[in-house]
Amino acid sequence: MLTFGDLSEAEAPAVQALLESNPGYTERVSGRPPAPGDGLEVLLDGPPDLTPGQKHCFGAWLDATLVGVVDVLQSWPNQQTAHVGLLLVHGAHEGEGIGRALHDYTLSQVRGWEGVDTLRLGIVETNAAAAEPFWSKLGYRPTGRVVPFIEGPVKTTVAVWTRPLED
């Protein structure tokens, strides 16, 4: 049975295993396979202007296995926006509806955040073929804003997409 909940630093090994189950994402956006410490980074890292409590990580568990992770910044970059950093599903469980279910859970949490009415995310161009069909299905659309993205050897762009909290 699929269950959802908050993730904390204690779940770093489970997030690490999840990243390693679906290495293509890290390879496409960083030019290298997942490395030790990447799981903890998903749980802790954020933009420099973030204040404590603004970063939330939610997990989807299939029995005892973490099969999905999403990290969301509350009221960032502005009061009315929740920014989705990464949503990743276990490589052995893609195409089973877990991504949509974890997003639905995220929406239920964001509905409790005062003043937030918009969700926002960035699609890295080197990952666009994998990510765009999914985010389109979930109601996100490109804003037209495209900014440079550099991660190790990967020099590309990131496109900002948004959707209203309520359809």
Only segment of 9-17, 91-99, 112-120, 148-156 that touches ligand COA (CB under 6 A): 91-99
| Spatial separation of the C-alpha atoms in residues 77 and 33, rounded to whole Å | 29
Q: Is 87 in the site for ligand COA (CB under 6 A)?
A: yes
DSSP state string for 88-128:
EE-GGGTTSSHHHHHHHHHHHHHTTSTT--EEEEEEEGGGH
- The single residue listed with the structure tokens 């970059």 is 77
Angle between helices 128-137 and 23-30 (to 10 degrees): 120
129-158 residues in contact with ligand COA (CB under 6 A) are: 130-131, 133-134, 137
Nearest position to ligand COA, beta carbon: 99
Residue 15 or 89 with smaller CB distance to ligand COA: 89
Contacts with ligand COA, 7-46, as mask; x by CB under 6 A? ---------------x--x---------------------
> Do the Cβ atoms of 104 and 68 come closer than 8 Å?
no
Only segment of 13-21, 46-54, 81-89, 112-120 that touches ligand COA (CB under 6 A): 81-89
Least Cβ distance, residue 71 to ligand COA (angstroms): 9
